[in-house]
Amino acid sequence: MSIPMRRPVLLELAALAAVLVICTGPLNAERPSDAPSQEGVIYTEPKDLGRPNRLAVIEVEDWGTIKIELYENMTPITTKNFIDLAQSGFYDGIKFHRCIDGFVAQTGDPNTKNMNPYDDGMGGSDSTIPLEICRNASHVDGAVGMARSSEPDTASSQFYICDGPQHGLDDWNRDDHGYAVFGVVVEGLEIAKDIAATETYGNTRPLLRDHPVDDIIMSRVYIIDPPVEVNDTLNTDNNGRDNELPFPMLLSLISIILAAAVIGRKRYLS
């Protein structure tokens, strides 16, 4: 005499299937340990915007294109400031003025448009923004952060791209104020790294130690919406038409549960 499959077992299988479906989705990045709040810092948490983050496209003359995902869902003040500047054409024609191999490539200063390299790095836009820190946005390789002075609320238009992880700049790893990450390079990171490694004046002109010898110009900076992601797991029939069952994994699990229920019922009736 066989043991009948009881209803609670079916419920357990259904719960297991739901867990498996959930676990197949993307996992959130590990969050750094919390840091105490500091005066002058706005701490933010990730939010669901109901849409993907927008991208910044930086066309660098004679070098190529760098694309950056802007963390609008984590640093709304900082990304809005950057987007507004980019859409106004502010960044077009600005040069990279600070390049350190294995550290950062920095740009965003309108002073670089004049013929005096000695004031490069001292300028900005007409307004400043507060230091906005999200602990889910850290200085990973390719992270994009806001440059500022020693005071927390002095970020304006200058930004940098990390050449390698720079977690010593993270707010929670410092006794003083850290720096705000507001994006990450998603395309063209090798170009940013090459810019960081470009030839600088070094000891030949100490006041321009990290200043590139040759001009590296952002010819255009603009904002785009991310491309629409196509679900490549959709099955198609021989005529190339999408099947009407868009979630094969979920359907397979449901089929297993139903099959188990049928077998259990047959055994129970026998």
Are the C-beta atoms of residues 196 and 105 closer than 8 Å to each other?
yes
3-state helix, strand, coil in the chain (%, to 5): 30, 20, 50
CA distance 209 to 204: 8
Please check whether residue 255 lies inside any domain of the structure.
no
Number of domains in the chain: 1
Are the C-beta atoms of residues 195 and 104 closer than 8 Å to each other?
no
CA distance 124 to 148: 10
pLDDT tens for the chain, 270 residues long, are: 332 333 444 444 444 444 333 333 333 333 344 554 566 799 999 999 999 999 999 999 999 999 999 999 999 999 999 999 999 999 999 999 999 999 999 999 999 999 999 999 999 999 999 999 999 999 999 999 999 999 999 999 999 999 999 999 999 999 988 999 999 999 999 999 999 999 999 999 999 999 999 999 999 999 999 987 666 554 444 444 444 444 555 556 566 666 555 555 544 444
Please check whether residue 186 lies inside any domain of the structure.
yes
CA-nearest of 227, 229, 218 to 82 is 218
Please check whether residue 38 lies inside any domain of the structure.
no
Please check whether residue 159 lies inside any domain of the structure.
yes
Please check whether residue 132 lies inside any domain of the structure.
yes
Task: List the domain range (segments joined by +) for residue 144.
Answer: 53-224
Find where tokens 């395309």 sit: 187
Please check whether residue 217 lies inside any domain of the structure.
yes
Please check whether residue 128 lies inside any domain of the structure.
yes
Please check whether residue 15 lies inside any domain of the structure.
no
CA distance 163 to 180: 16
Q: What is the CATH number of the domain that holds 158?
A: 2.40.100.10
